[in-house]
């Protein structure tokens, strides 16, 4: 199996920021922000569930189960926020590229096994959460007009930063960086 570099993983995930969040985020409405947010959480649920099933290390499988559970809860909260904000989550057309990038990254991860899978998954997660933090801070939160949505995005940053910290710590342990 071909070993993927960190830059290849970053490019494949699109950091969910560059290819995934429309350039004119300020023009997004609440439904589009929630559509992006739900899609991105779904991406991380899918990759975490793959890692929970395919990870070689028990510690990685435990981290992946934790990440999946957290993102499932966040996705449910996003649907609840849609009701509170009176919007319907909609996925902007620009998100097709992000979905394609995610599918390709999932294929590459699924083809790996053992320690190579663990290392690639940790690189993927590190890039994902770094991008999520950046996008939430710089694009989604400032574009949100619904106070509850803006507050949620602000609050969730701590959890994203926690996932990033845990992922980086585990990556250092397994030498995936």
Asked if CATH classification 1.10.10.1200 holds for the domain at 28-174, the reply, yes or no, is: no
Low-confidence ranges of the chain (pLDDT < 70): 1-26, 176-177
| pLDDT the model gives residue 14 | 42
| pLDDT the model gives residue 5 | 36
- Six-digit token string for 174: 């397994």
| pLDDT the model gives residue 126 | 94
> In 10 A of CB 136, how many CB atoms?
23
Q: For the CA atoms of the chain, what is the radius of gyration?
A: 16
| pLDDT the model gives residue 36 | 94
Predicted TM-score (pTM) of this structure:
0.83
Q: Which is it for the CA torsion 33, 71, 86, 138, positive or negative? A: negative
CA-to-CA dists, residue 96 to 39, 83, 103, 175, angstroms: 11, 25, 11, 33
- Six-digit token string for 110: 């699924």
> In 10 A of CB 114, how many CB atoms?
12
């Amino acid at each position: 199996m071909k070993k993927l570099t960190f830059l290849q993983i970053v490019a494949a995930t699109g950091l969910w920021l560059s290819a995934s969040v429309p350039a004119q985020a300020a023009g997004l409405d609440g439904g589009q922000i929630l559509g992006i947010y739900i899609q991105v959480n779904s991406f991380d649920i899918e990759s975490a569930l793959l890692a929970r099933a395919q990870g070689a290390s028990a510690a990685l499988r435990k981290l992946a189960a934790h990440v999946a559970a957290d993102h499932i809860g966040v996705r449910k909260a996003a649907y609840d926020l849609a009701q509170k904000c009176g919007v319907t989550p909609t996925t902007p057309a620009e998100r097709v590229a992000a979905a394609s990038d995610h599918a390709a990254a999932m294929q590459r991860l699924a083809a790996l096994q053992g320690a190579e899978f663990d290392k690639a998954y940790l690189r993927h997660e590190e890039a994902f959460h770094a991008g999520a933090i950046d996008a939430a801070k710089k694009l989604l939160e400032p574009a949100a007009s619904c106070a509850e949505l803006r507050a949620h995005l602000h609050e969730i940053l701590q959890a994203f930063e926690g996932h990033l910290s845990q992922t980086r710590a585990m990556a250092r342990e397994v030498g995936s960086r």
